[in-house]
């Protein structure tokens, strides 16, 4: 459903697809293409999950969110993901980031 009806925000090696879910919070999906090494795939997923844990409410209203990663994407920390997502969302349709709520 998210892939067919969601809005896409494209970056150089990452696409964020989001679709409002009418629920109480954001939900995360991760899709990684073109990364053959399981070690690298799992590291990318851990870093994205940690970014999401720290910034769970970075999109408003609540949405189902898919991070679609293409080959060549090598984040080294959740802060690197945050910087990339900030740039991507600020360029696309004036979306504003909200501070993470605990």
6-47: pLDDT as tens digits: 899 998 889 999 999 888 788 999 999 988 899 999 999 999
For the segment 44-56, the average pLDDT, to the nearest whole number, is 92
Average pLDDT of the chain? 84
Segments making up each domain of the chain, as ranges: 15-91
CA 40 remoteness from chain centre? 17
For 7, the token pair is: 């809005």
CA distance 41 to 12: 18
* CATH architecture entry for 15-91: 2-Layer Sandwich (3.30)
């Amino acid at each position: 459903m998210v892939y067919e009806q969601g809005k896409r925000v494209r970056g150089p090696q990452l696409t964020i697809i989001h679709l409002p879910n009418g629920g109480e919070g954001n939900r995360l999906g991760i899709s990684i293409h073109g990364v053959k090494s399981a070690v690298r795939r799992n590291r990318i997923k851990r870093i994205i999950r940690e970014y999401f844990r720290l910034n769970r409410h970075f999109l408003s209203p609540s949405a189902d969110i898919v991070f679609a990663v293409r080959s060549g994407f090598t984040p080294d920390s959740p802060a690197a993901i945050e910087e990339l997502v900030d740039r991507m969302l600020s360029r696309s349709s004036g979306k504003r980031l909200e501070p993470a709520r605990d």
